[in-house]
Amino acid sequence: MGRIKKEKDEEEVYRPSLNDIKNKSIRHKLAVKERVRKKKEKKEIRKQRKEEGAEPGVPHTIESLREPDETVLDPNDPRNDERIEETQIDLQTDEFSSYFNMEYEPKVLITFCDNPTTKTRIFGVELCRIIPNSMFRYRGRSTIKKIVKRAVDKKFTDILIINEDQRKPNGLLLIHLPEGPTAFFRLSNVKITKDLNKSHKEINSHRPEVILNNFTTRLGSRVARMLASIFHYSPEFKGRRVVTFHNQRDYIFFRHHRYEFSPTAKPKLRELGPRFTLRLEYIQEGTFDTKLGEYEWIKSGRRRQVEFSRRKFNL
């Protein structure tokens, strides 16, 4: 009897791999039983933890497992006081310091790739409505270097060039004048006002407010300043329009809203459009130059200068 019981215990311990079973129907039944068994085990573990009075576990997310970044600027951390002081000194002398000191008003040129399609043209026109003191021009056959030279002569402060692929906008090149830097963003999920079933007539001519959210690192601060510098530093609150750049996992979500306050009801937020997502590909020193230009930062996968990790965020 003891020998028979020992053999049964060995049979219960030994579980053959599902890949070793040739019969498909039997393999499927065993896989279902295995899932049910694991589910029961997890349920028993949770029940036991609850009876013991243990605190409920916190679910893991990509944000909670984020790899630490030395350039994160957290004012609540006393260890970052010296780093924050160094960053503030750099911000006082960078290419955007004159804008934040209100020494000039932004003047933005918006243009396109060669022979843009209808959606790309409409997208450029809507950006022109949102960005104060901006105008769009067709590029024609001019190279980017010629466009930069003409824009500097005509006192433009920034250039936005919209690229497209397969008849859809897929890239945004932002050049700060006259000395750079240049940033290229991957453009995705573009929804113009018509796609959102909205009317472009709701967009008034008042200068919008700009919200830059969750840019926590040194690189993120630089990108945020670059995006802010294409809008006027003095918004007109009468228009009740707000433009938001929200960074999450290095994806920059753009939204354009109009808000309303009522003494009897809750505040209302109405999306006006367009809507799109940006992903930083690289930042280059100076104006656009693919041959001799030096890169400040390049996304992993382009020239392998940054190690790739899903849990490492750069902005």
Q: What is the pLDDT, as a whole number, of residue 299?
A: 83
What's the confidence (pLDDT) of residue 74?
66
Check residues 214 and 139 and name the one with the higher pLDDT: 214
Instruction: Map out the domains of the chain as residue ranges.
Output: 83-298
Residue 37: HSE in the Cβ half-sphere, 13 Å Cα cutoff: 7
Give mean pLDDT, residues 276-283: 95
CA angle 75/81/87 to nearest 5° reads 85
Confidence band of 11 (pLDDT split at 50, 70, 90)? very low
- What does the pLDDT read at residue 59? 75
pLDDT tens-digit readout, 189-217? 999 988 887 766 677 889 999 999 999 88
| pTM of the model as a whole | 0.78
Mean pLDDT of 67-95: 71
Q: What is the pLDDT of residue 55?
A: 72
H helices within the chain, ranges in order? Answer: 2-13, 24-51, 81-93, 97-100, 118-130, 144-153, 218-228
Looking at residue 276, its pLDDT comes to: 96
pLDDT at 102: 92
Burial track 135-162 (b if 16+ CB lie within 10 A, e otherwise): ebeebeeeebeebbeebeeeebbbbbbb
> Is pLDDT at 15 greater than 80 in this prediction?
no
Predicted pLDDT at 200: 65
Q: What mean pLDDT comes out for the span 135-149?
A: 87
Per-residue pLDDT averaged across 135-156, rounded? 89
* Lookup: tokens for 190: 């573009």
> How does pLDDT run across 85-113, given as a tens digit for each residue?
777 777 788 899 999 999 999 999 999 98
Q: What average pLDDT does the structure give for the chain?
A: 84
Which of residues 305 and 86 earns the better pLDDT score?
Answer: 86
User: 83-298 — its CATH code?
Assistant: 3.40.50.10480
> 5: pLDDT confidence band, cut at 50, 70 and 90?
very low
- In terms of pLDDT, which residue wins out, 86 or 133? 133
The pLDDT, as a whole number, for residue 305 is 47
Q: Give the whole-number percent of the chain exceeding pLDDT 70.
A: 86
For residue 8, give the 3-state DSSP assignment.
helix
pLDDT of residue 8: 47
